[in-house]
């Protein structure tokens, strides 16, 4: 049957056509496409890998930054605490100092007042003495203006002396 | 919407089959020989018959290239034969006999075949489809070549993306697993046969010019394809492959003194590509034959009356559409199978020493 016997002419044309198709496509067609697809695949794989690495790095950085942040926060707390302590200490010290100072001032003031008082008292005493002398003088003078009075006094004084 | 469309299509089918049957009723008074018709359509021809309109054959004459046993090379148009009715330069198309439908010449009272390199219908389609295939793939390759320097920009869209999808599915799902680590060397060949077969298969399914020629259902075509695979399998076979053919790992009495296993293995070397050849040829031929047979049902049932004829025509069209869809699938499957088996055979010829394997 002619269907099952290959025709020599068609065999020839087929060999020629397929040979050319094979040659051209195997040289200029498929290798380029497959190569490019492979290259793209490599590129994508690399990009993915790079992205993954970047992600990991980012995660590391994030962790680190968090760590730094926590540290900073702790430091802040510590500094604040220290400052507070310092402040309290300083304030306390100042208070103490002030108290001491105040006490000293008070003491001084007291002493001054005392002295002033003493001086004033002494002054007053002498003044009073002078005054009383003057008054006494005046009174005496007045009282002793007449003879009787002078005699009376003398008598009185003598009484007194006698009494003593 | 869809329902409406289905109704419309069905109506169209009925109308179409009715018109076909009336035309046939008018024209086909004589019994048609279905066997003859199918064989004529699936076979080769010296001119490209497109249609017959009012008993007038519309066909494209093709070049005839023959070398007669006495007359030497001749080159002329197939129109000179007047559709096989006349002889030219001592050559004529045999009306019957062993060489029925082929160009023959009369030498010493005997009908003999000259060296016939005519560009027949199949050959012409083949040349044309080869050119189209080359252009088609080169256009795709050019797209990639333009972007060779920048692989990050080379992700195609649309049609080229589809071609890439097909190429890479063949590479990744067929070639790589079947051959193994040396697959890169054979990828161009296997992709070429895949695209060659599927392209010609699909072209054969188009019933009108320039399709319709039964290329991959022709034994000469599949023979050459199988021959290429045979050559590549055996030419690039490893030492281990030949050792397995001539001194396989079986009990010694199977090899000496009568080399039973080597003989079987050696036969296997030839049956593998032979099976490839027959499988593709038979599948595509059968597909064409079924479609033609179903179409002939329209003309065969004319004599059974209009009602019967109409019914059978509708059935015929529906069945033809169905078989054509199946054939689309077969076109892909056969290309896939041919490529896969070629890859498997190449993979088998790439065997490493057994010890390395285990």
Using CB atoms, pick whichever of A6, A9, A29 lies closest to residue B116.
Answer: A9
B 72-101 residues with CB below 8 A of A? 99-101
For chain B, give the mean pLDDT.
Answer: 82
Mutate which: A36, A44, A50, A51, vs B, most B CBs within 10 A? A36
Residue B266 Cα, gap to closest chain A Cα (Å): 24
Say yes or no for a CB contact (<8 Å) between B154 and A17: no
How would you label B200-210 residue by residue, b for 16+ Cβ within 10 Å and e otherwise? bbbbbbeeeee
* Peptide bond connecting B257 to the previous residue in cis, omega within 30 degrees of 0: yes
Place of tokens 């049902």: B297
pLDDT of residue B11: 55
For chain A, give the mean pLDDT.
Answer: 87
Task: Please determine, for residue B98, whether its predicted confidence score (pLDDT) is greater than 80.
Answer: no
Ramachandran area for residue B285 (φ above 0: left; ψ -120 to 50: alpha; else beta): alpha
Tokens of residue B98, six digits:
């062993």
What is the tens place of the pLDDT at every residue in B182-219? 888 899 999 999 999 999 999 988 887 777 788 888 88
How large a percentage of chain B has pLDDT more than 70? 89
Contacts of B254 (CB under 8 A, 6+ apart): B260, B261
Contact list in A for residue B134 (CB cut-off 8 A) is 20-21, 24-25, 29
Task: Please determine, for residue B25, whether its predicted confidence score (pLDDT) is greater than 90.
Answer: no
Tokens of residue B180, six digits:
């193994």
Helix B260-300 / helix B2-27 crossing angle, nearest 10 deg: 80
Contact list in A for residue B137 (CB cut-off 8 A) is 25, 29-30, 33
- Maximum separation of any 2 CA atoms in chain B, in Å: 76
**Residue of B21 and A139 predicted with greater confidence:** A139
What is the tens place of the pLDDT at every residue in A59-112? 999 999 999 999 999 999 999 999 999 999 999 998 999 899 889 998 999 988
What is the tens place of the pLDDT at every residue in B268-314? 899 999 999 999 999 999 998 898 888 888 888 888 888 888 888 89
Residue B186 Cα, gap to closest chain A Cα (Å): 9
Say yes or no for a CB contact (<8 Å) between B189 and A29: no
Q: Nearest residue of B to residue A6 by CA position?
A: B220
Mutate which: A8, A30, A32, A42, vs B, most B CBs within 10 A? A30
Dist CA B143 CA B347 (whole Å): 31
Say yes or no for a CB contact (<8 Å) between A24 and B134: yes
Q: Break chain B into its structural domains and give their ranges.
A: 57-116, 168-357
* Peptide bond connecting B210 to the previous residue in cis, omega within 30 degrees of 0: yes
Task: Please determine, for residue A150, whether its predicted confidence score (pLDDT) is greater than 80.
Answer: no
Dist CA B218 CA A14 (whole Å): 11
Contact list in A for residue B125 (CB cut-off 8 A) is none
Mean pLDDT across B251-279: 87
B 28-67 residues with CB below 8 A of A? 39, 42-44, 65
Using CB atoms, pick whichever of B117, B127, B195 lies closest to residue A9.
Answer: B117
Which letter does DSSP use for residue B151 in this model? Answer: G
End-to-end CA separation in angstroms for chain A: 192
Dist CA B121 CA B331 (whole Å): 20
Q: Does A46 touch chain B (CB under 8 A)?
A: no
Contact list in B for residue A48 (CB cut-off 8 A) is none
End-to-end CA separation in angstroms for chain B: 62
> Which of B270, B274, B288, B277 lies closest to B222 in space, CA to CA?
B277
H or E element: which one contains B311? helix B306-349
Tokens of residue B227, six digits:
């021959």
pLDDT of residue B213: 83
Respond yes or no on whether ipTM tops 0.90. Answer: no
| Cα R_g (chain A), whole angstroms | 64
Using CB atoms, pick whichever of B43, B134, B228 lies closest to residue A2.
Answer: B43
Contact list in A for residue B39 (CB cut-off 8 A) is 3
Dist CA B195 CA B166 (whole Å): 9
Dist CA B166 CA B156 (whole Å): 13
DSSP string, B212-260: ----TTSHHHHHHHHHHHHHHHHHS--HHHHHHHHS-SS-GGGTSSS-H
């Amino acid at each position: 049957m002619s269907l099952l016997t290959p025709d020599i002419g068609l065999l020839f044309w087929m060999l020629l056509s397929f040979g050319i198709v094979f040659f051209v496509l195997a040289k200029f067609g498929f290798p380029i496409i497959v190569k490019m697809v492979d290259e793209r695949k490599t590129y994508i794989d690399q990009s993915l890998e790079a992205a993954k690495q970047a992600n990991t790095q980012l995660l590391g950085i994030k962790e680190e930054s968090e760590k730094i942040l926590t540290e900073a926060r702790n430091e802040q707390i510590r500094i604040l605490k220290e400052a507070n302590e310092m402040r309290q200490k300083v304030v306390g010290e100042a208070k103490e100092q002030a108290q001491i100072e105040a006490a000293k001032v008070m003491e001084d003031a007291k002493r001054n007042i005392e002295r002033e008082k003493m001086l004033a008292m002494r002054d007053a005493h002498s003044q009073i003495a002078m005054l009383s002398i003057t008054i006494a003088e005046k009174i005496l003078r007045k009282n002793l203006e007449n003879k009787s009075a002078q005699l009376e006094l003398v008598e009185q004084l003598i009484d007194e002396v006698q009494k003593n | 919407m869809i329902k409406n469309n289905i109704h419309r299509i069905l109506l169209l089918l009925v109308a179409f089959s009715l018109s076909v049957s009336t035309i046939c009723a008018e024209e086909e008074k004589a019994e048609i020989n279905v066997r003859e018709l199918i064989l004529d359509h699936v076979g080769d021809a010296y001119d490209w018959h497109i249609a017959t309109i009012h008993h007038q054959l519309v066909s494209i004459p093709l070049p005839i290239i023959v070398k007669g046993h006495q007359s030497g090379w001749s080159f002329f148009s197939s129109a000179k034969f007047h559709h096989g009715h006349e002889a030219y330069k001592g050559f004529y198309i045999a009306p019957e006999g062993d060489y029925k439908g082929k160009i023959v010449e009369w030498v010493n009272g005997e009908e003999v075949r000259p060296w016939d390199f005519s560009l027949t219908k199949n050959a012409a389609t083949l040349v044309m489809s080869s050119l189209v295939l080359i252009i088609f793939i080169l256009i795709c390759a050019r797209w990639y070549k333009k972007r060779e320097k920048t692989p990050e920009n080379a992700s195609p869209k649309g049609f080229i993306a589809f071609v890439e999808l097909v190429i890479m599915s063949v590479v990744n799902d067929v070639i790589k697993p079947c051959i193994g680590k040396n697959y890169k060397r054979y990828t161009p060949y296997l992709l070429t046969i895949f695209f060659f077969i599927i392209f010609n298969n699909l072209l054969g399914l188009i019933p009108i010019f320039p399709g319709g020629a039964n290329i991959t259902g022709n034994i000469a075509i599949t023979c050459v394809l199988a021959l290429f695979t045979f050559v590549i399998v055996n030419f690039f076979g490893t030492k281990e492959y030949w050792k397995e053919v001539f001194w396989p790992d079986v009990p010694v009495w199977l090899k000496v003194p009568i080399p039973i296993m080597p003989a079987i293995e050696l036969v296997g070397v030839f049956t593998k590509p032979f099976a490839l050849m027959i499988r593709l040829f038979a599948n595509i031929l059968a597909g064409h034959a079924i479609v033609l047979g179903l179409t002939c049902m329209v003309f065969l049932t004319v004599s059974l009356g209009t009602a019967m004829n109409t019914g059978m025509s509708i059935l015929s069209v529906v069945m033809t559409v169905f078989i054509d869809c199946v054939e689309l699938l077969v076109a892909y499957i056969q290309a896939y199978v041919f490529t896969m088996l070629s890859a498997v055979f190449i993979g088998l010829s790439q065997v490493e020493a057994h010890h390395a394997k285990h």
